[in-house]
Structure 1
């Protein structure tokens, strides 16, 4: 009861719009992760913190607790790693843009260390998609690390006990609203990348998330929110349906980022063209088609734009326009599908099962090879 009272006092302060210090936030998240307080108190804490509006210190405290207490870590020998997973919980549900973009970037030589989740409010999360394509999403973290080294890409399952053994999956699977835990958890990547393109589910999160990322060791990052023209809905991806706003920081310098599809050499598309598919099987079939270079214009452009930002933040290209050109060539050539085949083979305890699953999808899609 004592810890319930302590967290209750913290919740009362949050209701009164009082900010917590980083240490205070750490202690609150620690009680939640260790399940030392009731689930009702845990939910109330997250709701009160969200309603108040999270600060950078509060998100950093949450990240530190998740990383210190509930993350199996890996070392990749100083590799320059990039993550491109968003926070999720956005108001417009798209197909798995970041999954496709990560494969395009990996095909272009970028070392991608992703940390994602299963679907909570959508039909197919990034982990669900990778698993349906044949990637082993319940494998040990060392297998993921090997995949990053050998296939240029790996995905840590943020809701698996093999990655976060204590509590993260338990809590996230029960919370159906965006909270600072989504942000803190998405940053608790076992490989600790230092470069990222990270989407957030609301524009007012751009600044605090960028500040947190810099404080925990990121050197180069783009934090963004994608809007839909003439709509209040938006996405945790760069948008080809309206403007994208964000922050780009590099070596301590912060700059505002404002993009439109046209400013990047692309077209503005109807959001229906990038909307989530109705079920996981359809989503996987469409992903294979897209990665083979046979996707439709809206989906192609969405992946090209988000891949371009990875090349840009990694300093492989000098401009986003150059990144668009590079991403388009890789996507339309089918190189991303070849990269997926490597990923399925290496991030797998049973590679033959994964390869068979992908082969079946390719056959159903009509993709040769």
Structure 2
């Protein structure tokens, strides 16, 4: 393909806006080549493209999401030597509006302590009180570990965090436009799929039920071997601590749909009010207390939040990740291994090793 330019972007924009039915996956990939390439677009063209995708509904179709994610990953900062290390990730699409504790990040650390190799991909908060990067920064972790050091880090500690801003430089010119547009775009769905480590095992949370099948299909197209797409019935993009969660499990090319509750994991149910997010500092102090099996100070606990509820919620989400990673055969065993990782201080050791690696740069 010739080098993309704003002029070569125009026919793609016209086709999407006036004949979206014939807009192909190849067209989508070529459009994203324009978006990620310097001087191959204007701000107005990107805004028009994202708006047309939204209005045509193509932003919620698996084939287009997978095509866009493939381009974004190809243009991400590459991680040498990681191909031989199979990894997993747990992530949500966001947008559930429930403003809860950073359970996926906490579950990732605990799962690493229990034996999974986790490359957590995330960013700072877009709409909630505390995003995954905010939590880790409040835990005094560096988010700038050089990619070349990640394979050795994963071999020793099994946990690494890949800060999206460091790995996707092309997003720098898209972010201001997304803020100005003021509505969700395809990038809200791409976030969970843009992990440059290319994990082959994933737990992905969706807030909208209609996205479940879309994400299962997209994950398959991207080469993910085993996954759970999960949605708490409150509209939560995590496994719910309070009630039922729908799960679409991908395994060996087949998809199985079922519903679970905390009871299936062997833990009590807890109301969402007991797992609300505090500030990043509050959340960090609570997580440190859970990892160190200590009691936080009263000031660290937001009103209504219960440490036991947070721990149980972390356990059930870590359990799901351990199952897809092949470290547990069922949810009960996953909870047992996750609990042992906390109580044996293995999860704390995984986080400490990641923190130490960042301080040695």
Both structures adopt the same fold (TM-score exceeding 0.5)? yes
CA–CA separation in structure 1 for the residues paired with 2:269 and 2:315: 13
Shift of 1:119: 1.2
1:299 aligns with 2:305: no
Any stretches of 5+ residues in structure 1 without a counterpart?
229-233, 351-369
1:319 aligns with 2:341: no
Q: Deviations over 1:224-264 (max 9, x none)?
A: 12232xxxxx3321111232113111121111132112232
Any stretches of 5+ residues in structure 2 without a counterpart?
1-5, 295-305
The TM-score with structure 1 as length reference comes to 0.84
CA–CA separation in structure 2 for the residues paired with 1:173 and 1:193: 28
Give the corresponding residue for 1:242. 243
Q: Assess if the C-alpha contact under 8 Å between 1:153 and 1:343 holds in 2.
A: yes
SS for the counterpart of 2:264 is helix
Give the corresponding residue for 2:13. 8
Q: Assess if the C-alpha contact under 8 Å between 1:86 and 1:199 holds in 2.
A: yes
Shift of 1:100: 1.0
SS for the counterpart of 2:293 is helix
Alignment partner of 1:117 out of 118, 123, 126: 123
What CA RMSD, in Å, does the superposition of the two structures yield over aligned residues? 2.3
CA–CA separation in structure 1 for the residues paired with 2:10 and 2:20: 19
1:20/1:90 CA distance change after superposition, 3 Å: farther
Alignment partner of 1:203 out of 209, 229, 235: 209
Instruction: Spell out the pairing of 1:177-256 with structure 2 (5 A cutoff).
Output: 177-228=183-234, 234-256=235-257
Shift of 1:11: 4.4
1:92/1:71 CA distance change after superposition, 3 Å: same
SS for the counterpart of 1:122 is coil
1:7/1:138 CA distance change after superposition, 3 Å: farther
1:235/1:280 CA distance change after superposition, 3 Å: same
SS for the counterpart of 2:92 is coil
1:204/1:17 CA distance change after superposition, 3 Å: farther
The TM-score with structure 2 as length reference comes to 0.86
CA–CA separation in structure 1 for the residues paired with 2:22 and 2:160: 36
1:144 aligns with 2:178: no
CA–CA separation in structure 2 for the residues paired with 1:66 and 1:268: 39
Q: Assess if the C-alpha contact under 8 Å between 1:115 and 1:156 holds in 2.
A: yes
CA–CA separation in structure 2 for the residues paired with 1:45 and 1:227: 32
